[in-house]
Structure 1
Amino acid sequence: MRKEGIVWKTFKVLVILLGMVLILGPIFVIFINSMKTMQEAGRNFFALPSGLNFDNYKELFGRSDFWSSFRNSTIVTVTSVTLIVLIIPALSYAVARNLNKKYYKMLYYYILAGIFIPFQVLMLPMVKQMTQLKLLNQFGLILLHLTFSLPTGLFLFVNYIRSLPAEVEEAARVDGCNVFQTYVQIVFHLIKPMIATIIVMDSLGCWNNFMMALLILNKSHNMWTLPLMQYNFKAEFSFNYTMAFTAYIVCMIPIVIVYALGQKYIIKGLTAGAVKS
């Protein structure tokens, strides 16, 4: 039994180390190449840089299109995630507490069907409709982020809310709270772990979204987000990948911060505020 325990522990450690190499390896290669010139990177892509060379970072921060794209990405991501947090949990609460009714059940499964439709199927009709509505701008992209987040968000929140004890809401109604007050003062606090999860997931999705931004914001470079700006490091016959890698490292930092801040809410207090049945 002891030998089997040692073998199992060794196997788990090896799997963890392999996962770390697979995840951190590409990030390490990107980082070291962001410290190189194009000539140095061309000589040996995987070698360490000859020294700490921050010229690529200075050049990136000196570009006006970087800061305008950073501002656009921040506006789109923050606004999209804010609307998602305000609308989807509230809708999910209404559906979860009325799922025994035919109308709400049909609504739930109708929205849930969006999970199974590939984005490629929706691309052409989506662009045509957004063009007719004159929404080929940042506001249109924000609405699309909200729309495409709805099926997954509704599925997660409805199942999470249905797992909450109903006694808390019943006690709030006895104290004179209406449905809105019960949701804001009680339910919203109980679903904070799921809200933190959605914030992290959708922040990552909105911040890194390339295809949808390309379809909606390609009308003017003044509306570009960071993924579109990074894509344009590639010319017809060349690719300035050291600058692209520098942009990848810099643009990764805000999402890492969001995850670091949200992680504690995901892990701790999953049953905070619950009562014993």
Structure 2
Amino acid sequence: MKQLKKFRQIPVYLFLLLGTFLILFPVYICITTTFKSPSESIKSFFTLPSSFYLDNYITVLSNPKLYYAYGNTIYVTVLSLLLCFLIMPAMSYAIARSMGQSKHYKRVYFFLLLGIFIPFQVRMMPLAKLVSSLKLLNQTGLVILYVAHATCESVFLYVGYLATISTNLEEAAYIDGASTFKTYAKIILPLMKPMIATVLIREGLHIWNDFQLPLIVLNRSWKLQTLTLYQYNFQSEFSIDYNLSFACFVVASLPIVLFFIIMQKQVIGGLTSGAVKE
């Protein structure tokens, strides 16, 4: 019986191995190409480099435009995540705890859910016209768009998470004389840490790697470019410098990879640890 069960699991393991290969092989190509000269890449694109050719990294790191792009990306990402942290949990808490008493909050919630089903390609041209008319073709305009873009899905995740948190703790706090703000800040917000970490990691990855919105908003000057726009410079009309492009990809991805490694325990950690459950 055990042998039959193991035999049935073989297709599952083969499928997982295939998925692992499809994920890791592009990473292997990217990293190995950064240590090859252009001539070696043409001759042997899939093989390991014959020697560690560091000129690609030297060329990328010696360009001052990279550091402008790094600074712009960090500024936009950090400010967007900070605003998402300050606004979204509080908004979701108000909606989650008021939907039962007021139809208006329920309508707001379902109105926000509609934004999840509208693809970015549909919103792209209206957004471009809006930010242009408001003179927001800069980092500030990009931050506003990212916060607005994150609102719908973040509220959906937070409201669903808040539904699992018992209201007994809040009622006890109100009996002790705590205000709504103090109850939210001292009790609810700490219980939301796992979901906050999940949402911030998700939005951080999206903002750091996004190309379309910066292309619309920050295409006027190279001093406004984010890392994704800077990487786009290695592509011409008829060719792509893969060696420099992949070296730039590796350099640009290091901070967000470290961020994910540091924060992943928060995502998979216990939910509502220590809370009273109904």
Give deviations 1:29-71, integer Å, cap 9, x for gaps: 1100011111111112112111111211111111101111011
1:6 match: 6
1:1-277 alignment to 2 at 5 Å? 1-100=1-100, 101-277=102-278
CA distance in 1, matches of 2:9, 2:191: 37
Give deviations 1:194-228, integer Å, cap 9, x for gaps: 10101110000000110110000001110000000
Taking structure 2 as the reference length, the TM-score comes to 0.96
Shifted more, 267-276 versus 51-60: the winner is 267-276
CA distance in 1, matches of 2:110, 2:25: 41
CA distance in 2, matches of 1:120, 1:163: 34
Q: Which runs of 5+ in 2 are unaligned?
A: none
CA distance in 2, matches of 1:131, 1:102: 36
CA distance in 2, matches of 1:268, 1:78: 23
CA distance in 1, matches of 2:25, 2:99: 46
CA distance in 1, matches of 2:105, 2:23: 42
Paired positions, count: 277
CA distance in 1, matches of 2:274, 2:77: 30
SS in 2 for 1:97: helix
CA distance in 2, matches of 1:178, 1:47: 64
CA distance in 2, matches of 1:169, 1:254: 38
Give deviations 1:90-137, integer Å, cap 9, x for gaps: 100000000121110111111111111111111111111111111000
Shifted more, 228-237 versus 202-211: the winner is 228-237
CA distance in 2, matches of 1:216, 1:159: 33
CA distance in 2, matches of 1:85, 1:91: 10
Letter in 2 for 1:134: K
CA distance in 2, matches of 1:174, 1:11: 58
Q: CA deviation at 1:10?
A: 3.8
SS in 1 for 2:98: coil
Letter in 2 for 1:158: V
Letter in 1 for 2:151: L
Letter in 2 for 1:80: S
Maintained 8 Å contact 2:194/2:271: yes
Shifted more, 110-119 versus 140-149: the winner is 110-119
Q: CA deviation at 1:11?
A: 3.9
Letter in 2 for 1:246: A
Shifted more, 117-126 versus 210-219: the winner is 117-126
